Amino acid sequence: MELIGNIIGVIEEAKEDDYAGLKVNEIVTYKKEEALKMVKFDLEKLDILFENLSSKDKNKVILAKKLHDKEIKLVNFSKGMLKKDIEYFQTLFKKITSYGRKIILVDKNSEIFLNCVDHIYVIDKEQIMYETRTIFDKYLKKYIDLPKIVEFIAKSEEQGIRLDQYTELDELLKAIYRIKS
Amino acid sequence: MKIESDKNYVILNDNIDNTFMEQFKEYPIIENLGYIDLKKKIEFFSSKTIFFKETFYYLKEEEKEEILELLIRQKINYIIITSNIEDVLFANNLVIYKDSNIVLEGNTKEILKKEKDLKKLGYGLPFVVDLSLQLNYYDIFEKVYYDIPSLVEDLWN
């Protein structure tokens, strides 16, 4: 199945990568230190078994292992991540794709798609059920909770207030202030 | 951490590993279950307290609400362990960890008033709380909202 885009968002039931029984040291082998530093993984945890790591650390290790793949598929990468972590990795994803690599984010949290992906697919049993280029597509709500800022803009529209597709709180606030004053 | 058996909690932690979970080993822990399996599990749940370890990550908002309603009906207390600040609004009691230590603990709405601390810790605020606090700052509102429909309704009407 050919998915179009550089950073692609996918809504799909998919199995998370599991390296149970292996230590971080044994999972990330190619340019280990460089890769783990790039994903901000604490190098003091090199001898810890995969199953004993937090979700955030597991996802960092999985990304470090795949950093040099031509197509990097990450399942539920946002699990365990804070907003500031997501922002860091979104910037990193853009940097990675500038080296000709493709990133596929199969995720339950649409916040990671915001300001990041150029195409979103809904996939079921290896079939594309729906595709769109924007997270502001209301039809996606059937499959995933939309980012809170998108939900707010959609609810405002239901009240007859049309707001632009803001993705930052500061921009949204300025728009509200303009309307209210 | 001391759990009072008649209360519901959200525990916020950005490093939920096995070492952290060790302190709750006496409790039944639910993880990696989708909505349907989770609902089935709860229907036949025998314990009075249930722990969700990052389980809410897999659920949509309406599914989370249904699960919590089911627990309330069955008089089961819940503890939601999450790294998602949006989930803190699902219980009146909030405990926040950073580097394996409790850094904030108490009533959720009271803790959410500590905007600077939460942002400094890296957790930030739930979107609706953040937006209403900013609107308070601009004198558009004088109260804090905890759900988007109420905020939108009052803002535009």
Helix, strand, or coil (residue A7): strand
Q: What is chain B's pLDDT, residue by residue, as a tens digit (157 residues)?
A: 888 888 999 999 999 999 999 999 988 899 989 999 999 999 889 899 999 999 999 999 999 999 999 999 999 999 999 999 999 999 999 999 998 899 999 999 999 999 999 999 999 999 999 999 999 999 998 999 999 999 999 999 8
Q: Give domain status of residue B100, yes or no.
A: yes
The answer to whether residue A1 scores a pLDDT higher than 90 is no
For residue B57, is it within any domain? yes
Looking at the fold, whether B107 and B131 belong to one and the same domain comes out as no
Residue B69, domain CATH: 3.40.50.300
- Which CATH number applies to A7-146: 3.30.460.10, 3.30.530.20, 1.10.10.10, 3.40.50.300? 3.40.50.300
**B105 and B146 housed in the same domain:** no
Q: Which residue in B56, B155, B157 has the most chain A C-beta atoms within 10 A of its own C-beta, making it the best mutation to test that interface?
A: B155
**Same domain for B70 and B25?**
yes
Share of chain A above pLDDT 70, in %: 100
Q: Is residue B3 in some structural domain? A: no
| A156 interfaces chain B, CB cutoff of 8 Å | yes
Q: Are B74 and B85 in contact (CB under 8 A)?
A: no
- Domain tally, chain B: 2
**Residue B2 domain-assigned?**
no
- Report A:50-79 residues touching B (Cβ under 8 A): 51-57, 76, 79
> Would you say residue B63 lies in a domain?
yes
Average pLDDT, chain A: 96
Residues on chain B touching A13 (C-beta within 8 angstroms): 34
Per-residue pLDDT tens over the stretch B92-103 = 999 999 988 999
Give a yes or no: residue B148 inside a domain: yes
CA–CA separation, A175 and B11 (whole Å): 35
Asked if B125 and B118 count as a contact pair (C-beta separation under 8 A), the reply is yes
Q: Are residues B95 and B149 in the same domain?
A: no
Q: Give me the domain span that covers residue B45.
A: 9-113
For residues B23 and B94, membership in a common domain is answered with yes
If asked whether residues B92 and B26 sit together in one domain, one would say yes
So what's the ipTM on this one? Answer: 0.93
Q: Does the beta carbon of A141 lie under 8 angstroms from any beta carbon of chain B?
A: no
